[in-house]
Structure 1
Amino acid sequence: MDTPEAPWHAAFPAPRKQEPGTMTRGEVLKMMRDGGSVAGKDYLLVDLRRTDHQGGTIRGSINLPAQSLYPALPTVYNMIKAAGICRVIWYCSSSRGRGTRAACWFSDYLEEKGDESIQSLILLEGLKGWAKGGPEYVNWVDGYEKTYWETQ
């Protein structure tokens, strides 16, 4: 009898914090559209998907698969800090698994560093919610595949 394979995140400690801060798709879109905040300078969108990276990604996002995040936290933090980014918005398909875990791990790391200048947030409903938000949202998805989202 085969034993089920442990989930990828079982190799890392559970985040201490369990409820990350959040942003709605409307808040993120407003921030992107208004021009007062610049991607990569004022905020960073992080797409945590690895093998399910179909359907496109929100414009300006970087791809950092959740499976590689935990050991890279010090490097990710140093890059974000050096760039002066004050808000990191994590997302996956739904932001209920990888997105929440990543935001909480990063929040824990910020707390360990005593750094209150950076927020670690999730995009509520993830990319699925973004893609289902209508034309004003999908216009901000690079590589948008309509047929992919119709089946989600």
Structure 2
Amino acid sequence: MSKPSYIKAEELREIIKNKTKVPGKDYLVVDVRDEDYQGGNIPNVINKPSDNFTDSLDALISEYSQIPKIIFTCRQSQVRGPSCAAAYASKVNTDQTIHVLKGGMNGWLRKYKDDSELVENYVEEEEWDF
């Protein structure tokens, strides 16, 4: 069982930009934002909202535990991302490395909002509709 660790935005950027790495095969980003899943996302991310994350945990493990690296994120990666990563880590029994994106999507969008390889569906925060 692997314990989640933080991954810096720059490290994830290098993985995504590395054309030899295939999303969904070599790595997977799981965004656990709920109604705040707007403003932009990492390409090829899967959205598994934290409000019902435990309900989809077994299916998530069944489908993705063979991927060597899994990265969880939420808006700030302070509560939802780390807790979902810990829940996942507590049930998966592979050599998969489990990370939480340091700074979350807020930090990611601030750094990379203008790079279409790193952000899709970008919308300025004042235009969000919760």
Q: TM-score band (shorter)?
A: 0.7 to 0.9
The answer for the alignment partner of 1:32 in structure 2 is 16
Q: Kindly provide the amino acid, as one letter, of the partner of residue 122 in structure 1.
A: V
- Could you tell me the percent identity over the aligned residues? 27
- Residues 70 and 144 from structure 1, CA distance in 2 versus in 1: closer, same or farther, beyond 3 angstroms? same
The answer for the alignment partner of 2:57 in structure 1 is 73
The answer for the alignment partner of 1:130 in structure 2 is 108
Q: CA RMSD in A?
A: 2.3
The answer for the alignment partner of 1:144 in structure 2 is 122
Q: CA deviation at 1:40?
A: 0.7
Q: CA deviation at 1:58?
A: 0.8
Q: Partners in 1 of 2:62 and 2:112 — Cα distance?
A: 36
Q: CA deviation at 1:134?
A: 4.4
CA contact (8 A) 2:113 2:122 kept: no
Q: Kindly provide the amino acid, as one letter, of the partner of residue 125 in structure 2.
A: Y
Larger radius of gyration: 1
Name the structure with the higher helix share.
1
Misfit runs of 4+, over 3 Å: 134-139
TM-score, normalization: structure 1? 0.75
Q: Does 1:103 align with 2:80?
A: no
Q: Kindly provide the amino acid, as one letter, of the partner of residue 7 in structure 2.
A: M
The answer for the alignment partner of 1:62 in structure 2 is 46
Paired residues in the alignment total 127
Q: CA deviation at 1:68?
A: 1.5
Q: Partners in 1 of 2:109 and 2:96 — Cα distance?
A: 27
Report Cα offsets for 1:37-82 as digits up to 9, x if no partner: 111111110111110112011111011101121132221111013x
Q: Partners in 1 of 2:53 and 2:21 — Cα distance?
A: 25
Unaligned runs of 5+ in 2: none
Unaligned runs of 5+ in 1: 1-16
